[in-house]
Chains A and B, each alone.
Chain A
Amino acid sequence: MRVALVGNQNSGKTSLFNCLTGSNQKVGNWPGVTIDRKEGVIKGTETILVDLPGIYSLSPYTSEEEVSRKYILEENPDVIINIVDATSLERSLYLTTQLLELDCQVILALNMCDILEKKGISIDEKELSKNLHMSVVKISALKNMGIQELINLLKSEEILDNKHQKIYEDPIEKAIEKISSQLNDLKHKRFISVKLLERDPLLKDKETENIRHDITECEQAYQLDMEQIIANQRYLYIDKVKQTCLTKTPVPESGTDKLDKIFLNKWLALPIFALIMALVYFLAVGVVGSYTVELISGEGGIITLFQNWLSEFLISNEVSEWLISLICDGIIAGVSSVLGFVPQLIILFLCICLLETSGYMSRIAFLLDKLFRSIGLSGKSLIPFIVGSGCSVPGIMTCRTIEDETERRITIMLTPFMPCSAKLPILTLFAGNFFGEFAWLATVFLYFLAILTIVFSSLVMKKWIFTEKGSAFISELPEYKLPSLTYVLRDVGEKTFAFIQRAGTIILFCSVVVWFLLSFSWKLEYGVAIEFSILASIGKGLAWLFYPMLGTLSWGSAVSALQGLIAKEQVVSSMAIIAGLFEETADATIFAGNGIFSFFTPASAYAFMVFNLFSAPCFGAIGAMKRELGSVKRMLQAVLFQTGIAWVLAVLIYQIGHFLEMMG
């Protein structure tokens, strides 16, 4: 048996899904969209539960609604569990009236029944069940109440059959009847008839002259268009049902409203927000976060110690040199540069999860919406940018909280423009060496340039690339609540695991490839000097790309930029190695005398720095982009877009700078 779980956003769908399935879950994506597709087996049964995206209606306008509709109509689940927030019954039943038009058994799960009393609401579920002609179960997914009753009902054969009650006024019901009589033996006749009346664009092929005629007749009678008539009458029906089974007594102002007087206060809201963000930054990417990274992969960190120990162990066992290099310099170095972020990520995921489950995340969008909308982003885009200034990987992963697909994709593509902490060595090297006492100014200008690039790119993308209509900001401010410990742990664990999994696959693979190119010559000799490696010849092949921003052909610069793909700080160590120095003295001597990098002038130095900071991020971030954008194609588009912008900026800076240098 297959059961679909359908409900509004914030109706507690995820909690109920977890309650019902325990740990037997499979998470993937719906075909074509980056919306989670979750499946699990209901505890103590063999019933498969499919979690459909949170929706308010089965209209054809959002990808969530389309996915849900397609699933229900094409894959015909045996039963639908319609989870409903009992504290906003009226709005929630709107979706129920649509589900009841399907040829499918529907169970109404009245969620959040534990807080009804506090809100002064009482619901007579027997009366509700009688009115709607469907099985109703009172539950609380958060308190694990009524879950067993729900499972028992599913197991029994006692689910009330869907009677397709007439809920509209006579003229509409007549039109529905007429259409459905023409639909032969199609499944979900009543549902499709209503959608046809509403001129549903996804059902255009079934539209006939007769139907169009009926629609016009009804519209003339009501002096409204069909979509409005249907919506009005659904709500009129719900109003009638509600009056028989729901009573409300006035209650004192809720805790949420009191808290909002502070958190959404005209003067206090933004300072409080800044404070909370500062705290998140401090914990995740600032002092605490970088301490944990140091602990894992810094000098004397766990991974470094392990690496040293392993290489000594391998040497003492006379393992061949190239294999040691593959393991230590290729695999461990590459993967550990990413795994080093794990503790930091855990802290960050914890912060984000707390912000989300407590209800504050929705307020952030509410606070900043006006500001960010003017550049085509969502208020929630700020969080990935702030987090991204520490590390792009978690920054990109926090884009998940942005509901609108377009805004989410734009934010994912723009987050790597924020100079992350791994890019700081590049900044120090170039700004420090070429701008002397004005190094700070060069740095400030760079951050300014990053923000400018984000704003500009967003405007460009919104105007020419993602031309679909802007999202309406229609969402809810959920109640503030204390996060549930099990939920938080589970959420953080899942996200961390997904990250580690990726480090073990794509990042491992890419690191090995770059190691190979760097360590071998075309004749497959191992251990050649860097200038004879395959990577160097690739660098020579690509040097012309860098000519417009350097004013010379420099394979060393090209190779170093390529190495930045493993981790951005590698740009600096690569330049040091190529200049024939030891890694530790990566300072002014890189550019000294007749060395390979002595051609750098302030103009080309700034240009090359900008290119490295804004071009394709490291493999870790590219992997995150692939996962969050949902396809390799979109990931490549993003990487090309970023590298393109970086190239144009770098060339502009060099050409202007070079011109100024020539002028003296």
Chain B
Amino acid sequence: MHRLKEGETGHLSDLKLGQCAEVLGLHNDNLALRRRLLDMGITTGVKIRVKKIAPLGDPVDIELRGYELCIRLDEMRNIDIKVVSK
């Protein structure tokens, strides 16, 4: 996977370590899971930074709203984003 450049859109799972993005929306069929993501603050417009990645590449520790959250690539694939600067 090439590194997404600033302004490009994609999924949260496409981000590399240290990159930042703004959430455009969530599309997830599992309502419970989607609700959980919303509850944790992954709502439209929020800024997210990839902070730590597990040694096996999954899950990922992301930073948003002044705190950190661990989340799996599977869930991150369902979050649309636009890459922004730090």
Q: Contact residues of A with B, CB < 8 Å?
A: 56-57, 59, 61-62, 87-91, 94, 224, 227-228, 231-232, 235, 248, 260, 264-267, 269-270, 366-371, 373, 469, 472-477
Contact = CB atoms under 8 A, between A and B. Distances in A.
Interface of B: 25-26, 30-41, 43-46, 52, 54-59, 61, 65-72, 75
Nearest to A234: B43
Contacts of B26: 228
A248 B57 CA distance: 32
Contact of B33 (A90, A248, A368, A472): A472
A266 B58 CA distance: 11
A180 to B, nearest CB: 22
A91 B65 contact: yes
The list of the 6 closest CB pairs from A to B, nearest first, reads A88-B67, A61-B32, A57-B39, A231-B38, A90-B65, A370-B56
A318 to B, nearest CB: 68
Contacts of B39: 56-57, 59, 94, 231
Given A88-B67, A91-B66, A235-B46, A228 B56 contact: no
A231 B26 CA distance: 12
Contacts of B58: 369-370
A260 B52 contact: yes
A369 B70 CA distance: 11
A87 B71 CA distance: 20
Contacts of A367: 54-56
Contacts of B43: 228, 231-232, 235
A90 B52 contact: no
Contacts of A269: 54-55
B44 A228 contact: yes
Given A367-B54, A369-B54, A369-B59, A474 B71 contact: yes
B75 A472 contact: yes
Contact of A477 (B25, B41, B55, B70): B70
Contacts of A224: 25, 44
Nearest to A239: B65
B72 A476 contact: no
Nearest to B41: A91
B38 to A, nearest CB: 4
B67 A476 contact: yes
Contacts of B41: 90-91, 94, 235
A227 B34 contact: yes
A469 B34 CA distance: 13
B55 A469 contact: no
B62 to A, nearest CB: 11
Given A61-B32, A91-B40, A228-B44, A270 B55 contact: yes
B25 to A, nearest CB: 8
Given A227-B31, A472-B71, A473-B59, 16 more contacts: A56-B36, A56-B39, A61-B31, A87-B67, A91-B66, A94-B41, A264-B54, A264-B55, A267-B55, A369-B58, A369-B72, A373-B72, A472-B36, A474-B69, A474-B75, A476-B70
Nearest to B74: A472
A390 B58 CA distance: 30
B49 to A, nearest CB: 13
B20 to A, nearest CB: 16
B70 A473 contact: yes
Given A260-B52, A264-B55, A469-B30, A476 B36 contact: no
Contact of B67 (A91, A270, A469, A473): A91
A232 B26 CA distance: 12
B42 to A, nearest CB: 9
A90 B65 CA distance: 6
Contacts of B34: 227
A370 B57 contact: yes
Nearest to A230: B38
Contacts of A59: 35-36, 39
Contacts of B57: 370
B66 A265 contact: no
A227 B28 CA distance: 13
A248 B46 CA distance: 18
B70 A227 contact: no
Given A231-B39, A473-B71, A370 B59 contact: yes
A469 B32 contact: yes
A469 B35 CA distance: 14
A417 B45 CA distance: 49
A474 B60 CA distance: 10
B36 to A, nearest CB: 6
Nearest to A233: B43
A369 B52 CA distance: 14
A232 B43 CA distance: 6
Contacts of A370: 54, 56-59
Nearest to B46: A235
A267 B30 CA distance: 34
A232 B58 CA distance: 27
A94 B44 CA distance: 15
